[in-house]
Structure 1
Amino acid sequence: MMKKLMKNKWLWIISVVCVIAAGAYYMQMGSTGELVKVYEVDKGPVVDYIEDTGEVIAEQSATIYSDLTAKVETINVDIGDEVKKGDILFTLDDDALQYQLEVLKATKAGLTASKSELEKPTDSNLLQKLSAVVNSAKLAYEQLSDQLKTQEALLESGAVSQSVVDDLSSAVDIAYANYQAAVNDYQMAKKGTSGNVVDQAKSSLAAVDVQISELESMIAKASVTAPYEGVVVTKHVSIGDYVATGMPLVTIDQLGQMYIKADLLADDIMMLEVGARVVISNDSGIETQGKIRKIYPKAHTKVSDLGVEQKRVTVEIEFDSQVGMKLGYEYDLEVVLKEVEGIRIPDSAYFKINGNGHVFLVKDMEVVLTQIETLTEGVDYYEVSGLQVGDMVVQSPATELEDGMTVQLEEESIMDER
């Protein structure tokens, strides 16, 4: 029984001590005030920006088209392959063209031989022979002419018949024709081949040369090469396909020269101008600076991921470092609308009462409700007047905080500049 009474006594004493300690703790807390987090007013950048995404685009992209009507014989690249200028991407079947080229080369050889013969000088022995033929033909013609005169005289006296005279007259005509032909052959041989004939041979040869050159050019186009260093982004044909002149074969984006294309809300574009700063980043840790180089003049309708139709305007963004940037990838954008340097507070310290901006200043461990004016509203900071550098303002003040209340500082936290 005695042990039980002693045990109860000690329990009572411990309870009293706990109550006294708790009371002392709460009295102390009441004397130090509510715990608050503060920010020391400073001077720094205040940035207002919009967030969106954009896609990396090649400065130069080329679709290569077929210059021939032929079958695709080989394909040496695949989508995503990097190529150098002059690399053979495709080959087209050129067997028919090669056959035509061989025929033309044979024709050229024949024309060249003929032209050489025509341009050779006349043989003197040939001229002597032709001259003898002329003299012989002339003598035959003269002799037959004399005989015809004799027979015509005999016809008048009735010594010969008309048919004899007619036959002899025909023989004279033939002899004269032979004589004229011999004279022409001699004169042509003496003058050499006609200049017109040689010129015609030269023209024919030149025409064949043109055809050969055109065929060789077409055969060269059967090997499709890369126009510059780049990456294959699209293949339009497969091996065995028949392509016509003008059909697309492959699309190549140039490496090393890239920009970002983004569609921004039309309402935000009203506050932007060429040269506006852009912060570019992604989840992989890539971050670089850029600026808007072009704002398209016309808005277009685009459906958002939530199915809402929005008016957007396309902009082009150039950026400083292209290290790690990949064609076709999307990157996060912070497009700066306004950027000033001034006295600033975090947006978490700012609140309104009756439409006017206020903060809680901390002075002598008490909060003072202070009206301020906002000059520039940024995403994280506000530029304000009515405060001085070094003032302490309460961040995210609790609703129960009132003017004149005693507070205890949780910590002094000066946020890093953006």
Structure 2
Amino acid sequence: MKKWISSIITIVLMAGAGYWAYEKYKPQPEAPIEIPPPITFDVTQETMTQTILVKGKSVYTEQMDVFAPYTSSIKQWHVKNGDQVKKGDILFTLDTSALQTELDQMQSDLDKAKLDVEMNQISIDQAGMTETLGVTEEERKKAFADRESKRLANELSKKALVLKEKEIRKKQDVMSKSTVYAASAGVFQMNEGDSKTRAVTEGQLLGSITNTGKMKFLTIVGEEEMFRLKTGMPVQVRMSAQKELKFKGTVSKVSKFARKSSDTDLKQASQFDVVIDLKPDARMYGGVSLEGDIETMRKDKVTAVSSLAIMRDQPEPYVLLDKGNGQTEQVNVKTGMESGDKTEIVSGLKPGDVVVIP
């Protein structure tokens, strides 16, 4: 009896172990494959633009040079290097002592010459009253010649007086320029970095006044871009070092002549200078590296969709229009301009449609 019970227990244990091993190692059924949902894109109505990216530098456009009006020495500087000046501010004054001495001498000579002319005229007038015509024809000719000689000499003296007066006025005009004023507002920069008094010559460059409120963005474009540009096009500008700083500009000049470097290397594509006027902004400085997007085309209320949604494996571009409930319809479309990741849809879709990529 005990042997029989032992056999039953053994059989039960073996069956339990077998069932456990089966459950542990039996093959698992494959998990169902989940089909990802299709990628959808909304058809929208928006403003689309095309731009050209350019790079260059900012430069000051209004700079006036300051020259010495005549040879002298600087008597006094009224501004320092780097000062902000207004139009009409005194920049410096020149010494006038040498000019004044010349002017006094010229005036003295003029007064003496005037007196001589007056005396000569009196002498001529008196001689005319007491002059004897002479008896013979020869004596009369000689008297006439003497009288005309004195008259002509006095006339030449009068003309010399006019020239002397002109020279004096010219010298006075020069001396009136001894005080040099700022012709425009801006930052004054000396040609030499000091304000010492020193001798200068007529026409010598002493400094310049730069209007920091007027700047331009100078850049270069290639042949393809040049034909797309026109004056008046708006430009979104940013600093290369601080791209978060935004500025506005307008294309003011597109050169019709290639740069000289392009002429010497025939393998190099021609390049053209472009000038962009910048709107005044206190944050902008001259000599800064800039980037700009020149807007060459703009369309408002454009029907647009992501360029990824447009299929081009057939003769005509098409999209898969979402009809709902997982159903799609192939629709041929006519495309227009492209901007970024969007393409203009001229016909075939309307705003509010949804297209899919299977």
8 Å CA contact retained: 1:266, 1:313: yes
How far off its partner does 1:109 sit? 3.6
Write the deviation string for residues 169-191 of structure 1: whole angstroms up to 9, x where unpaired.
Answer: xxxxxxxxxxxxxxx9xxx9xx9
Count matched residues: 301
In structure 2, do the counterparts of structure 1 residues 302 and 347 end up closer, same or farther at CA, with 3 Å as the change threshold?
farther
Alignment of 1:5-404 (within 5 A): 30=34, 33-34=36-37, 39-58=41-60, 60-78=62-80, 80-115=82-117, 117-118=119-120, 195-196=151-152, 198-232=154-188, 235=191, 238=194, 239-240=196-197, 242-254=199-211, 258-282=215-239, 283=243, 285-288=245-248, 290-300=249-259, 311-318=270-277, 321-324=279-282, 326=284, 328=286, 329-341=288-300, 342-347=302-307, 362-364=322-324, 366=326, 373-384=334-345, 385-393=347-355, 403=358
Write the deviation string for residues 76-133 of structure 1: whole angstroms up to 9, x where unpaired.
Answer: 4455533333333233444322321222233234334445555669999xxxxx9xxx
8 Å CA contact retained: 1:360, 1:367: no
TM-score by length of 2: 0.63
Write the deviation string for residues 216-238 of structure 1: whole angstroms up to 9, x where unpaired.
Answer: 22223343332233443663575
In structure 2, do the counterparts of structure 1 residues 367 and 116 end up closer, same or farther at CA, with 3 Å as the change threshold?
farther
In structure 2, do the counterparts of structure 1 residues 197 and 301 end up closer, same or farther at CA, with 3 Å as the change threshold?
closer
- 2-structure distance, mates of 1:242, 1:368: 89
In structure 2, do the counterparts of structure 1 residues 266 and 247 end up closer, same or farther at CA, with 3 Å as the change threshold?
farther
- 1-structure distance, mates of 2:269, 2:192: 33
How far off its partner does 1:42 sit? 1.5
In structure 2, do the counterparts of structure 1 residues 103 and 350 end up closer, same or farther at CA, with 3 Å as the change threshold?
farther
Amino acid aligned to 1:387: L
8 Å CA contact retained: 2:77, 2:197: no
Secondary structure in 2 aligned to 1:390?
Answer: coil
Write the deviation string for residues 26-78 of structure 1: whole angstroms up to 9, x where unpaired.
Answer: 99x959x5496x54212222212122235455554333333423444444445
How far off its partner does 1:360 sit? 6.3
8 Å CA contact retained: 1:237, 1:249: no
8 Å CA contact retained: 2:306, 2:342: yes
- 1-structure distance, mates of 2:327, 2:191: 69
Secondary structure in 2 aligned to 1:297?
Answer: strand
How far off its partner does 1:335 sit? 0.7
TM-score by length of 1: 0.56
In structure 2, do the counterparts of structure 1 residues 291 and 273 end up closer, same or farther at CA, with 3 Å as the change threshold?
same
In structure 2, do the counterparts of structure 1 residues 294 and 47 end up closer, same or farther at CA, with 3 Å as the change threshold?
same
- 1-structure distance, mates of 2:244, 2:78: 33
Amino acid aligned to 1:248: L
- 2-structure distance, mates of 1:368, 1:75: 83
How far off its partner does 1:204 sit? 4.1
8 Å CA contact retained: 1:236, 1:248: no
Secondary structure in 2 aligned to 1:45?
Answer: strand
| Alignment correspondent of 2:8 | none
- 2-structure distance, mates of 1:75, 1:365: 86
Q: Percent identity?
A: 21
Amino acid aligned to 2:93: T
How far off its partner does 1:383 sit? 0.9
8 Å CA contact retained: 2:124, 2:151: no
How far off its partner does 1:213 sit? 1.7
- 2-structure distance, mates of 1:74, 1:372: 78
For structure 2, the residue ranges without an aligned partner over 5 or more in a row are 1-30, 131-142, 263-267
| Alignment correspondent of 1:143 | none
- 2-structure distance, mates of 1:361, 1:301: 54
For structure 1, the residue ranges without an aligned partner over 5 or more in a row are 1-25, 125-129, 131-183, 304-308, 395-401, 404-418
Write the deviation string for residues 259-297 of structure 1: whole angstroms up to 9, x where unpaired.
Answer: 443222333113223343323345464443x44232101
Larger radius of gyration: 1
Write the deviation string for residues 148-174 of structure 1: whole angstroms up to 9, x where unpaired.
Answer: xxxxxxxxxxxxxxxxxxxxxxxxxxx
The answer to which structure has the higher helix fraction is 1
- 1-structure distance, mates of 2:344, 2:70: 66
Secondary structure in 1 aligned to 2:256?
Answer: coil
Q: Relative contact order: is structure 1 or structure 2 higher (C-alpha 8 Å, sep ≥ 6)?
A: 1
